[in-house]
Amino acid sequence: MTMAYPYDLILFDLDGTLIGTAPEIADAVNDTLTVLGHPTVSQQAVNDWIGHGTRELLIQALAQLLNTSTQQVREAEAFPAIEAEFAQHYQRRCGTRSHLYPHVRETLQALRAAGVKLAVVTNKEGRYTQTVLDAHQLTPLLDHVISGDTLPVKKPDPAGIHDCLRRFGVAPGRALFVGDSSIDVATARNAGITVWALPYGYNMGEPIESCQPDRVIPDFSALTTLLSACDTAASA
């Protein structure tokens, strides 16, 4: 018998939820800073800057090093060239030091086999999203991917979720967001869908409980167990 899950569509954040990407993001940022003749930044600092896309992360790193505002970095004449330099390093680093979190692949496979539509909604720019997903052979398991530059707005704007709901003809009550940060919780709340959160990702240094997701789940095996329990409860 095919498992009937309580959700027809599950949307996943990428960085810190499906894949631990922080080490190779730090490598690319530090490659860039080294070329520019700046000191490097720590892994912890990079972890805490993840969330608004790699462009914003690079801006934060430069603002800290140059002791200036993010606005000034964003508007600096030299910034486009720095971003282009970073792009080369990040494309090269993508997939080299990231890792899939435990039980992610089996969970996505099981959900897909049960007919649940699966999508990624990330703030990471599209070209890097694709490289990271391909490096971990996740692309064939996903029905749709929305990156930080796919739409005119990114998370916490709910447009990415709305796009997926429309695309798959799913009502908000039948969709679940699984993420690792306050940005993900806010995005799901803005779209009016349920949100479960993992505690091991990147939440700008804050414990995930402080964002008040509907549930905190320890890992992906718990996700399957909880969804199956919902099924048992529904059919009891």
Ligand X SMILES: O=C(O)COP(=O)(O)O
Residue 134 CB, nearest distance to ligand X (Å)?
Answer: 15
Residue 192 CB, nearest distance to ligand X (Å)?
Answer: 19
13 is in an annotated binding site: yes
Give the residue with the Cβ less far from ligand X, 83 or 231: 83
Rounded to whole angstroms, the Cα distance separating 110 from 112 reads 5
Cβ distance 29 to 13 under 8 Å?
Answer: no
Give the residue with the Cβ less far from ligand X, 114 or 135: 135
Give the phi and the psi of residue 12 in degrees, each rounded to 5: -115, 140
8 is in an annotated binding site: no
Under the rule (CB under 6 A), what is the footprint of ligand X? 13-16, 50-54, 57, 122-124, 155
Which residue among the candidates 8, 13, 48, 214 is catalytic per the annotation?
Answer: 13
Cβ distance 122 to 15 under 8 Å?
Answer: yes
Q: Which amino acid is at 127?
A: R
Residue 55 CB, nearest distance to ligand X (Å)?
Answer: 9
180 is in an annotated binding site: yes
| Two structure tokens written together for 101 | 């979190």
Give the residue with the Cβ less far from ligand X, 30 or 122: 122
Give the phi and the psi of residue 117 in degrees, each rounded to 5: -80, 140
Give the phi and the psi of residue 60 in degrees, each rounded to 5: -65, -40
13 is catalytic: yes
Using a 10 angstrom Cβ sphere, with 0-12 exposed, 13-18 middle and 19 or more buried, the burial of residue 193 is: buried
Q: Which amino acid is at 177?
A: F
Give the residue with the Cβ less far from ligand X, 4 or 206: 206
Residue 18 CB, nearest distance to ligand X (Å)?
Answer: 8
Using a 10 angstrom Cβ sphere, with 0-12 exposed, 13-18 middle and 19 or more buried, the burial of residue 158 is: buried
Cβ distance 29 to 46 under 8 Å?
Answer: yes
Residue ranges for the binding site for Mg(2+)?
Answer: 13, 15, 180
Q: Among all residues, which ones are annotated catalytic?
A: 13
Residue ranges for the binding site?
Answer: 13, 15, 180
